[in-house]
C-alpha cells in the first residue's frame, strides 16, 4: 500500500516539474512563504482580534492553529519521520531553502485548512472563499516546490479540517465554562 502511494507521489512531482516557469516559481514561492509559521493566518486574525464582535472568531482561529500545530508538527511528523522529496535533490535544483524537519503531514497545509474549517463555522461565505483560495495555493505550492509529496498535503488537508472543526466545538465549550 505504502509503495503504491509513494509511486503516485513520485509521478505527481515528476509531472508538476514539467509545468514550471519562472513566473509560476515566483508565485509558488510567495504562496509557500505566506504559510511559513502561519504568518498569513496570524495576519488574517488581527482584524478579528481588534474588532470586539469578531474577537471570539480570532481567538478560535489561534486556538485551532495551536491545536493543529501540536498534532501535526510536534507529534505526527516525529512519529512518521518521512523524508522530504527535496532532500533527494542537488542544491541547484531547489527553489527554496531545504526544510530541516520531516515531511508527513504538511504543516503549512494542515494549518491552512484548520483556518478554513473554523471560517466555515464562524465567517461569511465570501471570507471562507478567500481563505480557501489562499489555503489551496499554499498547499499546492508545497508540492510544486518539492518540499512535500501529494499524500503529505492531502493528509494535511484532512487533519486541518478535522482539527479546525474539533477546535470550534472545544472552543465553544471552553467559552461556556468560563462565562
Q: Which residues of 116-155 are buried (b: 16+ CB within 10 A; e: fewer)?
A: bbbbbbbbeeeebeebbebbbbbbbbbbbbbbbbbbbbbb
User: What pLDDT was estimated at residue 103?
Assistant: 85
pLDDT by residue (tens digit) across 120-146? 999 999 999 999 999 999 999 999 998
User: What pLDDT was estimated at residue 9?
Assistant: 85
- Complete domains list, the chain, with CATH: 23-178 (1.10.606.20)
Pick 148 or 14 by higher pLDDT: 148
Q: Does residue 94 have a pLDDT over 90? A: no
Question: Any idea which of 5-14, 75-84, 102-111 has the lowest mean pLDDT?
Answer: 5-14
Please provide residue 153's backbone torsions phi and psi, each rounded to the nearest 5 degrees: -75, -45
Whether the Cβ atoms of residue 164 and residue 68 lie closer than 8 Å to each other: yes
% of the chain residues with pLDDT over 90: 60
Query: Cell numbers 522530504 label which residue?
Result: 84
CB atoms within 10 A of CB 31: 23
Question: Any idea which of 11-25, 66-80, 124-138 has the lowest mean pLDDT?
Answer: 11-25
pLDDT by residue (tens digit) across 80-90? 989 888 877 66
Amino acid at each position: 500500500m505504502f509503495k503504491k502511494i509513494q509511486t503516485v507521489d513520485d509521478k505527481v512531482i515528476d509531472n508538476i516539474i514539467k509545468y514550471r516557469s519562472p513566473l509560476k516559481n515566483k508565485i509558488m514561492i510567495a504562496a509557500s512563504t505566506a504559510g511559513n509559521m502561519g504568518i498569513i493566518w496570524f495576519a488574517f486574525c488581527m482584524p478579528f482580534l481588534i474588532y470586539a464582535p469578531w474577537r471570539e472568531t480570532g481567538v478560535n482561529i489561534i486556538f485551532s492553529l495551536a491545536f493543529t500545530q501540536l498534532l501535526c508538527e510536534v507529534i505526527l511528523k516525529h512519529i512518521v519521520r518521512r523524508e522530504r522529496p527535496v532532500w533527494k535533490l542537488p542544491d541547484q535544483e531547489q527553489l527554496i531553502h531545504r526544510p530541516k524537519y520531516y515531511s508527513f503531514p504538511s504543516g503549512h497545509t494542515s494549518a491552512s485548512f484548520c483556518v478554513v474549517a473554523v471560517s466555515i463555522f464562524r465567517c461569511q461565505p465570501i471570507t471562507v472563499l478567500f481563505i480557501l483560495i489562499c489555503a489551496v495555493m499554499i498547499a499546492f505550492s508545497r508540492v510544486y516546490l518539492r518540499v512535500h509529496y501529494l499524500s503529505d498535503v492531502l493528509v494535511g488537508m484532512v487533519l486541518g479540517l478535522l482539527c479546525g472543526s474539533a477546535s470550534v466545538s472545544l472552543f465553544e465549550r471552553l467559552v461556556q465554562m468560563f462565562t
